[in-house]
Structures are given as C-alpha cells and as structure tokens.
Amino acid sequence: MGVETTNTIVRVEGLETIRRIPEFTVQVTKELLAEASEYFVKRDLLRTQREGTGTLSVAIRKTPPAVDGDLGDWADAAWVTIDSRTNQVGDWGHEEVKTRAALAVSGDRLYAAFKTGDPGLLRNSGEALPMLFKTGGALDLMLGTNPDAPLKRDKPVAGDIRLVVTLAKGKPLAALYRAVVPGTATPVPFSSPWRTVTFDRVDDVSSSVELAAGGEKDPKKKGDRGLFEFSIPLSVLGLKAEPGKTIKGDVGLLRGNGFQTMQRVYWQNKSTGLISDVPGEAMLMPQLWGRLQFVAQP
C-alpha cells in the first residue's frame, strides 16, 4: 500500500528591502513596571465583570475520600476546569487534556483532588520552603478563610492564605503562606529589583499533609494520567466549613521542569502569565478569586 505525501514550495519575496532599525534607548522605570503589572489585573477584572465569577461547590461529606491517588470516590464531586491543553500524539494525532480540580470537607479535614494529565507534575527541587512556588511543579490552593471579609476586597486581609503542596526528594512538602497575621514583627519578604511584597508568616506544614499520586500505571487512559489528591486539617488552615457559608478562593497548579516553575494556571485568576517576578508570583489577589460554597452532602 502506497503512502501519500504532500510537497509544498514556498517563495519569499522582499527580503532585499529589510533595513536595520536605528538604535534608540528605552527607559524602563519602576512606575512603568508597576503599570504593566496592574494592566493584566485590570484586564482580568474586566473579564470577570463580563463573564461573572465562578462558584465551586465544596461538599461536606459524611465519609471522607481515601487519599490514595484513586479518584473513584470523587465521582459525584463538583469539578472545575483549571485549563485545557492540546497534546500531540504520534506524528499527526492530537488529544485535548483538561486539568480539573475538586474540593471536599469531611470531619476535621479539607480534601483536594486534581486531574492533570501529567504524572510528573510534582517535580520540585524544594530547595527553600518560602520559594516553593518558584522551584518546580506543585498543587496550589488559595483560600479566604474569614467568611466575614469583604467579598470585593482588592488586597489580602487576615485569613487570606495560600497552600502550595508538592513532592521533593520523594517526600511531600507543603508551605502555608499567610499574608496578614496581626502582631507579626518580622514578615517574610519576597523581592525583585523593583518591588517587594511581604507575608507575615510562611510555615512548613508538610507533616500535616497527606498526599497521594495515581494514574501512572495505564498511560493509554489519558483521563487517568497524573491524578493527585491531598488532605490537611481544617485547624491548620484556620478554616471553619459550615453548610451554606461562602468564602473566596481559587485552585490551580504550577508546572515546571523539576527546578524551575514554567507556568502558573488557575481556575479563576487568569492574570498569572508572569513567571519572572518573585513578588508577582507570590502575592495573593483575592479580587480575582472565585467563590467556594460549602454544601452538606445528603
């Protein structure tokens, strides 16, 4: 049986008209960098005004899911899409892979499940705990644990936290970032040449986290590749989950090469293309988070 081939001949004209642009100076100031950073946030705020803010239903379950990497006990969960990618299969084939996440509460713990399509997602050097979001892949959860905080706040307040969970040297590693803790004397700085943001506390909560990976045994099942789930005590987060309550929050993940973070993607916050500015990658933006609604499971 013959093989069909397609040949293409391309002719490019006009190359002789190319001229070098005269040298000129571009002056980049702190003010211009701040304006550029604010542009992406404002653009995403306009998107949320146009499209609305998403709501993630967090089931309060009587029976906790097993943290074992098998997401069969998450069948009835309310999944949200973090992002969608098209991967090449062979020479000509393609497949769409959606990264999805779900949250649940049972007893005194919060549970999170992720379908990522990437078994090697949690490659992270874990060199320095405060910089865990810069050194590779991770699961990322942001919560506004104070239900009385203003929903339209544009700056983090007490109770706004970030939990980054990953694997380093084969062991779970988790950092809890708290933007505002009243009475803090020495906050943790995150700096770049043009700005600094601080968190009042960054704690190692690895010993409190249960983490499991699954879906690596059968690579032919694209929907079962790169499954992850973790749980953590509500008390560590300072979170009280009660039916009917709504808080702000977001869920996402970091992709990297094992020692450097290459991409940040989230369910709600879409202004996260920046990966070369430590303060911008560290800071919390509650104005771009969605809503998490706690619902009692029958």
What are the boundaries of each domain within the chain? 26-296
* Closest CA relative to residue 290, chosen from 253, 254, 247: 247
- Which tops the pLDDT comparison, 272 or 92? 272
**CB count, 10 Å around CB of 17?**
6
Whether pTM exceeds 0.75 = yes
Query: Please, which residues bridge with residue 230 across strands?
Result: 112, 211
For the 26-296 domain, the top CATH level (class) is mainly beta
C-alpha span between 78 and 294 (Å, rounded): 11
Question: Which H/E stretch holds residue 188?
Answer: strand 188-192
Lowest mean pLDDT among 156-165, 185-194, 219-228: 219-228
Proportion of the chain above pLDDT 90, given as a percent: 75
* Closest CA relative to residue 258, chosen from 174, 176, 130, 170: 170
**CB count, 10 Å around CB of 60?**
16
Q: Is the dihedral of CA 231, 233, 234, 237 positive or negative?
A: negative
Angle at 260 between CA 43 and CA 156, to 5 degrees: 45
Q: Tell me the pLDDT tens digit for each residue of 220-260.
A: 555 568 999 999 999 999 999 999 999 999 999 999 999 99
* Mean per-residue pLDDT of the chain: 91
* Closest CA relative to residue 137, chosen from 160, 159, 164: 164
Query: Please, which residues bridge with residue 263 across strands?
Result: 255
